[in-house]
């Protein structure tokens, strides 16, 4: 009996050994990828790595990121993301947390190699949030990402880089339509163009498509959407918004974030296709006084003469923070540069990034936002002059750079945009220790670290931050994605006039004696005046004349007419009026205050109806506070666009003149509308889309996401913070160019969209 018992014990022990041996076996497959290794396991996530050891825990693979031979909680992919973030935050030094709080200046990627400056801020400053701008190609972007990830994997706790991007899917007029062959990335309308579709499902589809492309490029955070309520028509960032209506803005903001952040089929919504959405700009940069932009000192103030501050919060609190998808809320927020004049009940007039009321009392406490708050770029840097494009430290100009970091931290900021150097962050930490003690300082920094790490854990970067260059090349801008973007472009164009139904101009139906002959179209050249670029930097070019559309493209639809006399119709392509940014150094040098009007008309404009006293003003570099420009005159750089319409009308006689205007914000149509038989308004599409609509290959379906004013008086008299408060242009056919107005071939569009959003129907 004893012998039998002993054999039984031995048998049980042997079985146990077999079980243990089986449990300790490798239940995964490892293979060599292009520049990195992959571990594929049926009962766990795919791991990508280059140099870290791999731990075998009960047959499953885990990355030993800190190389201590143990499975620490933050390395354990079986744990919830918030637990892992909390564990890692406690393990980090203050220097490592300070690095997480940095967000790099703009980084171009011309080659796969990491630059010396990038190596420095990754290794010496512990920076992990990298803002990527232009890339040489999708494959180059993928290889650069992999090189960055391999580099940081070998450092410290093995924290991956969280690469990010500003919007990169917008098209240009001259971009080739290449849906069949693919492209560098899918091309979609601008946000204002997406708004013109009035279609939240389309915007969600855009987010889902763009997020796949972003992740294939190695990008896990989008510095978008820009959901500022664009109630000020002169603002030069109007085109980056979803327009001026709070309800439309809310619906599209929610759809955009849902599309970007949601990985289908995952319980939490977060996964390998998720891209963190950093919505901007809290609490809205839309109501800039006089339309001047806060990238410059002269545009630092947002004003609320209509008392509509709450309307500007709606797209955040009811849209981006209240998702229908499983991720629940946008993962990050960027405040704008502006001083929200008169909003802080304590009377503290500082930029939003330094406002404890704006960040902590409102965003955090009242509206419950728990994600990352990242400053806009350069707010802690010095500002050298009123018109200089450098630091944007509004309201805290007299503080040192370290003191500005400290003020932002006290306000509730987690991360500093455009700062590659952890030195000022460490100085701010020492200030916190000085004022509140070491424990409080450590707690405050860990609080931000958890938020920042959570966005890296939830997107799966700790498991696999690498991308396959071949897959990237095949996926980004693939034919299906290109077609989606092009179809959206067609739907974003708004037809506001079609007198006597002159459109479509069907190519095979000439208006003369040959019924089967192709129509002939006359396209006048356009004057492109010398331009300093957006914010004085982007898109600069010298003065020149050129055709605004490619002749070879036009000839796919129509015969090219050299003169108006031989043409069946004229196609005049113009851009909205541009008169500057609201500040003129010459005016200041001649004894004025420097402030001038921003005009939305082509003809010279005198600000007869402007305020005699500005609502906000003041700066340490100015000896006055009144920024009024009443009585001053400005001219428009591109007045020749108006002339080209008038000249075409005279030359064409009774033959149709079709005007296509590219717009980034509202404009005054009254100057050219009487000379046009048909008018199409677009917000950034390829020229082929224009021709498809003009020729009838597609039908216009867009609606105005904004009002088009009757004149500049109504622009001056509207309140910067109030939607739908301008008198709108009424054309020769009696149609009012109001929000949610548009035409199709049958006439004024009245459908589910107008019933939901229009204030008129």
pLDDT in tens, 541-582: 789 999 999 999 999 999 999 999 999 999 999 999 999 999
d(CA 287, CA 308): 10
pLDDT at 588: 95
Residue 742: inside a domain: yes
> Which residues neighbour 317 within 8 Å (Cβ) at sequence distance 6 or greater?
367
Three state DSSP letters for 655-692: CCEEEEEECCCCCCHHHCHHHCCEEEEECCCCHHHHHH
Q: Are residues 307 and 419 in the same domain?
A: yes
Report the pLDDT averaged over residues 15-28: 52
Mean pLDDT of 173-198: 82
**Mean pLDDT in residue range 641-652:** 98
| Residue 649 in this model has a pLDDT that exceeds 60 | yes
Token pair, residue 22, equals 């089986």
Positive or negative: CA dihedral 668, 671, 674, 676 = negative
Q: What is the pLDDT of residue 181?
A: 53
- As a residue count, the chain comes to 761
Query: Is residue 451 within a helix (H) or strand (E), and if so which, with residue range?
Result: helix 438-458
Q: Residue 542: what pLDDT? A: 86
Task: Select from 147, 143, 150, 123 the least CA-distant residue to 52.
Answer: 150
Instruction: Residue 689: name the closest of 257, 196, 137 by CA.
Output: 196
- In terms of domains, do 614 and 646 share one? no
Q: Which residue has the tokens 């000439």?
A: 510
Q: What is the pLDDT of residue 176?
A: 64
Rounded Cα distance, 27 and 24, in Å: 9
C-alpha 557/C-alpha 508 separation (Å) is 9
- Asked if residues 193 and 685 have their Cβ atoms less than 8 Å apart, the reply is yes
pLDDT recorded at residue 22: 37
Give the count of domains, the chain. 4
- Give me the mean pLDDT over the 442-455 stretch: 98
Cα–Cα distance measured from residue 13 to residue 187, given in angstroms and rounded to the nearest whole number: 65
DSSP helix/strand/coil, 88: helix
Q: Give residues with Cβ within 8 angstroms of 21, minimum separation 6.
A: none
Beta partners for residue 546, in sequence order: 526
pLDDT at 533 > cutoff 80: no
Question: pTM here?
Answer: 0.94
Mean pLDDT for all residues in the chain: 93
Q: pLDDT over 90 for what percent of the chain? A: 89
678 in any annotated domain: yes
- d(Cα 671, Cα 644) in Å, to the nearest integer? 12
When pLDDT is averaged across residues 513-535 and rounded to a whole number, the result is 80
| pLDDT(9) > 60 | no
Residue in 193, 1, 160 with CA at minimum distance from that of residue 88: 160
The C-alpha atoms of residue 110 and residue 121 are separated, in whole angstroms, by: 18
For 395, the token pair is 């309201």
- What one-character-per-residue DSSP string does 335-356 give? E-S-EETTTSTT----BGGG-H
**What confidence category does residue 531 fall into, taking pLDDT thresholds of 50, 70 and 90?**
confident
- pLDDT single digits (tens) 586-642: 999 999 999 999 999 999 999 999 999 999 999 999 999 999 999 999 999 999 999
Q: Are residues 336 and 248 in the same domain?
A: yes
> Each residue of 345-403: pLDDT tens digit?
989 999 999 999 999 999 999 999 999 999 999 999 999 999 999 999 999 999 999 99
Distance of CA 712 to the CA centre of its chain: 29
Residue where the block lists tokens 């800039």? 288
Residues 509, 434: one domain? no
Question: What's the pLDDT at 534?
Answer: 55
Cα gap 178→397, rounded to integer Å? 49
- Domain of residue 515, CATH code: 3.40.50.1700
> Which bin fits 344, alpha (ψ -120 to 50), beta or left (φ > 0)?
beta
Q: Is the dihedral of CA 40, 45, 47, 52 positive or negative?
A: negative
Give me the pLDDT at residue 24, please.
54
Task: Give pLDDT, residue 349.
Answer: 93
Please tell me the distance from the alpha carbon of residue 142 to that of residue 424, in angstroms, as a whole number. 32
d(CA 86, CA 732) in angstroms, rounded, equals: 65
- Between 18-32, 134-148, 270-284, the lowest mean confidence (pLDDT) is in 18-32
Structure token digits, residue 615? 């609502």
Contacts of 461 (CB under 8 A, 6+ apart): 160, 161, 162, 220
- Distance from C-alpha of 447 to C-alpha of 453, rounded to nearest angstrom: 10
Instruction: Return d(Cα 423, Cα 406) in angstroms, integer.
Output: 12
479 lies in some domain: no
Neighbours of 614 (CB within 10 A): 22
| Same-domain pairing of 571 and 598 | no
| pLDDT for residue 513 is more than 80 | no
Separation in Å, CA 147 to CA 79, 472, 673, 758: 28, 15, 55, 51
Question: Is the confidence at residue 12, as pLDDT, over 90?
Answer: no
CB distance 294 to 245 below 8 Å: no
The alpha helices in 512-634, defined as continuous H runs, are 551-554, 585-589
Q: Are 231 and 287 in contact (CB under 8 A)?
A: yes
**146 vs 6, which has greater pLDDT?**
146
**Does a structural domain hold residue 480?**
no
What local confidence, expressed as pLDDT, does residue 20 receive? 37
64: exposed, middle or buried (Cβ count in 10 Å: 0-12, 13-18, 19+):
middle
Do residues 592 and 647 share a domain? no
Last residue of a domain, one of 609, 637, 665: 637
Looking at 637, 656, 684, the residue that finishes a domain is 637
In a domain, 71, yes or no: yes
Tokens of 173: 């007029």
Sign of CA dihedral 660, 171, 271, 445: negative
Indicate the residue among 58, 79, 100 that finishes a domain. 79
Query: What are the residues whose beta carbons fall under 8 Å from the beta carbon of 296, sequence distance 6 or more?
Result: 386, 387, 388, 389, 535, 581, 583
What mean pLDDT comes out for the span 244-263? 98
Rounded to the nearest 5°, which phi and psi values hold at 214? -60, -50
Q: Are residues 612 and 661 in the same domain?
A: no
Residue 278: which pLDDT band, with cuts at 50, 70 and 90? Answer: very high
Q: What is the percentage of the chain residues whose pLDDT exceeds 70?
A: 94
In this prediction, residue 175 carries a pLDDT of 72
Ordered DSSP codes for 529-551: --B--BTTTBT-B--EEE-SS-H
Compute the average pLDDT of residues 189-212. Answer: 98
3-state DSSP call for residue 362? helix
Neighbour tally for 277: CB within 10 Å: 29
DSSP 87: H
Is the same domain home to 10 and 119? no
Q: Domain containing 628: what range? A: 579-637
The answer to whether residues 171 and 683 touch, using CB atoms and an 8 Å cutoff, is: no
What are the backbone dihedrals phi and psi of residue 65, each rounded to the nearest 5 degrees, phi first?
-65, -35
SS3 sequence of 368-379? CCCCEEECCCCC
Secondary structure letter of residue 526 according to DSSP: E
Q: Is residue 540 part of a domain?
A: yes
- Kind of pairing between the strands at 301-302 and 221-222: unpaired
Residue 70 in any domain: the answer is yes
Q: What mean pLDDT comes out for the span 191-196?
A: 98
Whether residue 52 contacts residue 158, with contact meaning beta carbons closer than 8 Å, is answered with yes
User: 87 with 50, same domain?
Assistant: no
* Enzyme catalytic residues: 245, 376
Is a pLDDT exceeding 50 seen at residue 676?
yes
Q: Is residue 161 part of a domain?
A: yes
| Prior bond of 395 cis (ω within 30°) | no
- pLDDT for 173 equals 76
Can you give the pLDDT at residue 324?
A: 97
Same domain, 90 and 17: no
In a shared domain, residues 614 and 720:
no
- Which pairing describes strands 129-135 and 162-165: parallel, antiparallel, or unpaired? parallel
Of 12 and 548, the structure prediction assigns the larger pLDDT to 548
Answer yes or no: are the C-beta atoms of 587 and 654 closer than 8 Å. Answer: no
Tell whether 226 and 116 lie within a shared domain.
yes
pLDDT the model gives residue 512? 47
Residue 171: band (very low, low, confident or very high) from pLDDT cuts 50, 70, 90: confident
- Report residue 505 as tokens: 């101009």
């Amino acid at each position: 009996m004893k012998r039998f018992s002993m054999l039984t014990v031995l048998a049980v022990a042997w079985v146990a050994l077999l079980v243990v041996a089986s449990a300790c076996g490798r239940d995964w497959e490892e293979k060599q990828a292009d520049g990195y290794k992959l571990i594929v396991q049926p009962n766990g996530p795919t791991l990508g790595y280059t140099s870290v050891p791999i731990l075998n825990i009960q047959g499953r693979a885990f990355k030993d990121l800190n190389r201590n031979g143990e499975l620490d909680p933050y390395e354990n992919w079986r744990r919830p993301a918030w637990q892992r973030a909390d564990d890692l935050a406690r393990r980090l030094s203050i220097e490592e947390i300070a690095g997480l709080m940095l967000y790099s200046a703009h980084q171009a990627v011309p080659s796969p190699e990491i630059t010396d400056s990038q190596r420095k801020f990754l290794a010496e400053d512990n920076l992990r949030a990298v803002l990527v701008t232009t890339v040489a190609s999708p494959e180059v972007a993928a290889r650069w990402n992999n090189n960055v990830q391999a580099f940081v994997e070998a450092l410290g706790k093995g924290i991956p880089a969280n690469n990010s991007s500003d919007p990169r899917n917008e098209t240009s007029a001259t971009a080739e339509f290449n849906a069949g062959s693919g492209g560098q990335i899918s091309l979609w309308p601008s946000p204002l163009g997406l708004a013109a579709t009035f279609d939240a499902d389309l915007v969600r589809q855009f987010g889902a498509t763009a997020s796949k492309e972003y992740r294939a490029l190695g990008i896990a955070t989008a510095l978008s959407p820009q959901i500022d309520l664009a109630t000020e028509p002169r603002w030069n960032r109007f085109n980056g918004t979803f327009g001026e209506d709070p309800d439309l803005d809310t619906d599209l903001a929610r759809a955009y974030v849902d599309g970007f952040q949601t990985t289908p089929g995952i319980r939490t919504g977060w996964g390998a296709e998720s891209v963190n959405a950093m919505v901007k700009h809290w609490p809205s940069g839309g109501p800039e006084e006089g339309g001047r932009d806060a990238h410059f000192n002269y545009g630092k103030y947002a004003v609320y003469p209509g008392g509509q501050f709450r309307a500007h919060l709606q797209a955040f609190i009811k849209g981006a923070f209240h998702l229908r998808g499983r991720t629940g809320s946008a993962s990050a927020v960027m405040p704008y540069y502006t001083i929200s004049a008169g909003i802080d009940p304590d009377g503290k007039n500082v930029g939003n990034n330094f406002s404890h009321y704006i960040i902590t009392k409102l965003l955090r406490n009242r509206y419950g936002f728990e994600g990352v708050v990242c400053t806009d770029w350069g707010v802690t840097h010095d500002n050298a002059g009123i018109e200089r494009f450098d630091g944007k430290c509004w309201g805290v100009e007299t503080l040192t750079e370290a003191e500005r970091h400290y003020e932002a931290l006290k306000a509730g900021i987690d991360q500093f945009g455009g700062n590659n150097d952890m030195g000022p962050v460490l100085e701010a930490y020492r200030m916190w220790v000085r004022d509140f003690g070491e424990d409080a300082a450590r707690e405050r920094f860990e609080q931000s670290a958890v938020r920042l790490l959570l966005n890296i854990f939830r997107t799966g970067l700790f498991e696999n931050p690498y991308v396959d260059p071949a897959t990237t090349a095949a996926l980004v801008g693939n034919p299906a994605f290109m077609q989606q973007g092009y179809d959206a472009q067609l739907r974003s164009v708004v037809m506001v006039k079609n007198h006597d139904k002159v459109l479509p101009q069907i190519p095979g139906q000439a208006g003369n004696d040959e019924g089967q002959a192709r129509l002939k179209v006359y396209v006048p050249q356009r004057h492109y005046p010398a331009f300093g670029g957006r914010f004085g930097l982007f898109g600069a070019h010298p003065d020149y004349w050129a055709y605004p559309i490619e002749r070879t493209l036009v000839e796919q639809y129509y015969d090219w007419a050299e003169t108006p006399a031989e043409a069946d119709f004229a196609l005049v392509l113009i851009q909205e009026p541009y008169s500057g940014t609201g500040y003129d150094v010459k005016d200041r040098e001649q004894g004025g205050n420097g402030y001038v009007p921003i005009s939305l008309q082509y003809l010279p404009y005198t600000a007869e109806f402007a305020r005699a006293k500005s609502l906000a003003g003041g700066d340490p570099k100015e000896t006055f506070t009144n920024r009024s420009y009443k009585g001053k005159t400005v001219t428009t750089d591109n007045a020749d666009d108006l002339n080209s319409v008038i000249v075409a009308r005279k030359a064409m006689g009774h033959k149709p003149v079709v005007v296509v205007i590219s717009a980034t914000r509202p404009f005054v149509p009254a100057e050219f509308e009487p000379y046009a038989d048909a008018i199409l308004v677009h917000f950034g599409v390829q020229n082929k889309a224009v021709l498809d609509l003009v020729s009838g290959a597609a039908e216009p379906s867009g609606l105005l996401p904004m009002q088009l004013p009757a004149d500049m008086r109504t622009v001056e008299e509207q309140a910067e913070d109030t939607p739908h408060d301008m008198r709108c242009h009424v054309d020769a056919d009696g149609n009012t160019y109001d929000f949610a107005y548009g035409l199709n071939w049958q006439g004024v569009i009245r459908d589910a969209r107008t019933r939901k959003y229009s204030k008129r129907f």
